[in-house]
Amino acid sequence: MKTIELSLAQQLVAEGMLLSEAARQEVQQKRLRELVAYARQHSPYFSKLYAGLPEDFSLTDIPFTEKSVLLENYDEWVTDRDLHLQDVLDYVGREESRSGELLLGKYTALRTSGSSGNPLPMVRDDHRNKIHGQLIGQRLCGQMDPDFLNIRKNKVATVIHTSNGASSYEAAKRMVRANPGYEHNFLCLSVLDSIEHIVEELNRFQPDSMTGYPSVLIQLALEQQKGNLNINLKALASSAEMLSEENFHLIQNTFNCPVANNYCMTEGGEIAMTHNCPHLHLNEDWIIVEPVDKDKNPMGETEEWSEGILVTDLSNFVQPIIRYYVNDVVRIRRKVFECCPLPQLEIRGRVFPTYTLAGKTFTAAALVTKAEVWEGLTQYQFVQTDDCTLELRGKCQVGYEQELVLGGLGKQIQAFFLENNAPNARIIWSDKPFVPNKQGGKTPVYIRLDAE
C-alpha cells in the first residue's frame, strides 16, 4: 500500500500552485513514470498491457483503458493481490452498522454507477486519500471559512444520492462518525426526493452550509427567489455535474454566500475545481486530462470540444487509473487567468434538468440513478409527452427482451412517483427512437416533446 504523511501531502499540494506551467508539466511526467512503473510491477493486467512500452515512453505511447475491460480483469488490475472483486463489492454494499470499517483494514472503497447493472468499485489507498483531501481543502475550499462543513460548529445539509457505496454519501457518513454527539447538526436528503419535500426539510432544519448537485442547487435557488425556501447560508459547495458561469452567479447571488464547485468522478477523483471564481481549473499536477476525438485519439491544443477524455490519476497506486476513457465533453484553455495559475477546464453537459410531472417537481437525477444500474439496459431516454406522462425508450443488451427490461424499470419508476406523492404520474415504455438534441451533442436522458 502506498502511504504518505499528511504534512507532506499538504506541502506537495501547496507547492503545485506555485510552480510555473513548465515546472508543473515536469512534475506531472515524473509522477506518471512512477505510477506506470508501480503498475507494471504490481498489477498483472498492466504488466501484460505495458509489455511493449518503450523505456523512454511518452503519454500517448501508453494504451488507453476502458471500464468494461478493467471490470472483466479486476483481480489482475488492482496492485494488491489480496483484493478481489466480489470482496470489494461486498464491502461497498455492506450494512450501515459496518460502514466505519476499512477494507482489509487499510483501504476505503466506493462504487460508480454503471449501465447493465455493473457498477465499478474503486479502492483508494492512504496516498490517494490524503492528496485528494488536500486538493479539496486547499484549492476548492481554501478561500472559504475552513469550518463551513464542520458539524461541531455549523448545521450542514446535503442533497445527494443516498445509497451505500456512493461517493458523496460515504463521505457524509464518515463525517458523522467522526463527530459523535453532533448528528443533530447534519441533514442528509436524497436527490430522489421531490423538490417540494427538500424545500420543506431545509426550511425546518435551517442549515448554515449546504452541499449538493448543481441541478438541485439551481432549483433551490429559484425556490428561494420565489419565497418558498427561506434559509441563510454561509457557504455552498456543488459537485458531479456541470455548473455554468450563469448558474454559478445565480446561486451565489441568491444565497449571498461563497460557492465552491468541483468537477470530480469516483474513478479520477477531484479533477478540476473553482478557486473563488466561477471557472473550473484543472489540477494538472495530480490529474492528467486528455481531450480525445470519437476514435479516442488525443486532440492536442485546440479550441474544439472533445468527444471524450482520457483521465489519469497520479495519486492512486492500489487501483491505477491510467488513460481511462470517460465520455465527458470538455475543452482545456491554457491562457493565464487572474483567479488561478492552473489551466481552465470547461465541460459541456453532465447536468440533470428538473421537470414537473403530475404537479410535482423532480430532478432527472432520480431517473438516471435507477436506469444507470438496470440490468440489460445499455442506453435510455425519458421523453415527457404531456403533463402527467413519461415514455421510457431504450436499447438493450443482446439476449435481453426489451419489454421485460423497459417494463420492469418502468414499474420501479412508477412506484417511485407513488412514494413521492405523485399518484397521477404515468410512465410507459416505448420502442420509438430516441429524440435527438437539436443543439447537437449527446442524446439527452430527459426531454419534453412540446419544449422542442
Residues 371 and 343 in one domain: no
**Torsion angle, CA of 238/122/113/245, rounded to 10 degrees?**
20
If asked whether residues 210 and 280 sit together in one domain, one would say: no
Range of lowest pLDDT (161-175, 193-207, 273-287, 397-411): 161-175
Q: 368 and 322, same structural domain?
A: no
294 and 438 co-located in one domain:
no
Q: How confident is the model at residue 233 (pLDDT cuts 50, 70, 90)?
A: very high
Boundary-marking domain end, from 287, 314, 348:
348
Give me the amino acid identity at 418.
L
* 436-448 exposure pattern, b = at least 16 Cβ within 10 A, e = fewer: eeeeeeeebbbbb
| Residue 165 contacts residue 373 (beta carbons within 8 Å) | no
Model confidence at 365, pLDDT cuts 50, 70, 90, reads: confident
Residue 139 belongs to a domain: no
Q: Which of 128-137, 349-358, 410-419, 433-442 has the highest mean pLDDT?
A: 128-137
Whole-number Å distance between alpha carbons of 420 and 437: 29
Q: pLDDT for 75-97, tens place per residue?
A: 999 999 999 999 998 888 776 65
Q: Which are the contacts of 133, defined by CB distance < 8 A and separation ≥ 6?
A: 9
Asked whether residue 315 falls in the same domain as residue 197, the answer is no
Check: CB of residue 259 under 8 Å from CB of residue 236: yes
For position 117, what pLDDT does the model report?
Answer: 45
Instruction: Say if residue 183 is in the same domain as residue 243.
Output: yes
Together in a domain, 93 and 205: no
Q: Is residue 140 in a domain?
A: no
Q: Domain check: are 177 and 210 in the same one?
A: yes
- Residue-wise pLDDT for 286-314, tens only, equals 999 999 998 999 998 888 999 899 999 99
Of 196, 222, 257, the residue that ends a domain is: 257
Q: Would residue 306 count as lying in a domain?
A: yes
B/e letters for 203-215, b = 16+ CB within 10 Å, e = fewer, are eebebbbbbbbbb
Phi then psi for residue 36, to 5 deg, are -60, -45
Q: Alpha-carbon torsion 289, 171, 415, 217, what sign?
A: negative
What pLDDT score does 374 carry? 85
CA distance 431 to 133: 46
Is the pLDDT score of 442 beyond 70?
Answer: no
pTM for the predicted model, two decimal places: 0.78
Integer Cα distance of 60 and 58 in angstroms: 6
Q: Does residue 333 sit in the same domain as residue 436?
A: no
Q: What is the pLDDT of residue 116?
A: 37
CATH (domain of 158): 3.40.50.980
DSSP SS3 for 121:
strand
Q: What is the pLDDT of residue 231?
A: 97
* Secondary structure tally for the chain: helices H, strands E: 13, 20
Asked whether residue 1 is assigned to any structural domain, the reply reads: no
Domain count, the chain: 3
Q: Within this chain, do residues 219 and 289 fall inside the same structural domain, yes or no? A: no
Q: Are 432 and 391 in contact (CB under 8 A)?
A: yes
- As a whole number, the mean pLDDT across the chain is 88
R_g of the chain, CA atoms, integer Å? 22
Does 29 fall in a domain?
yes
Look at residue 387 and tell me if it is in a domain: yes
Q: How far apart are CA 7 and CA 306, in angstroms?
A: 37
Distance, CA of 6 to CA of 220 (rounded, Å):
37
Q: Is residue 237 part of a domain?
A: yes
CATH code, domain carrying 19: 3.40.50.12780
Tell me the residue range of the domain where 390 lies. Answer: 354-451
Give the pLDDT confidence of 110-164 residue by residue, as tens digits.
Answer: 877 543 346 789 999 999 999 999 999 899 888 788 788 889 999 999 988 776 6
Identify the helix (H) or strand (E) that includes residue 222: helix 214-226
Inter-residue contact 393 to 410 (CB < 8 Å):
no
Q: What is the CATH number of the domain that holds 411?
A: 3.30.300.30
DSSP 320-340: ---SEEE--EEEEE-S-BTTB
SS3 264: strand
Last residue of a domain, which of 302, 325, 348?
348
Does the residue 150 lie in any domain?
yes
Q: How many residues does the chain have?
A: 452
Residue 223: C-alpha distances to residues 156, 192, 208, 228, 280 (Å) = 19, 17, 17, 5, 26
Same domain, 101 and 190: no
> Rounded to whole angstroms, how far apart are CA atoms 322 and 331?
19
pLDDT of residue 98: 63
Same-domain pairing of 321 and 285: yes
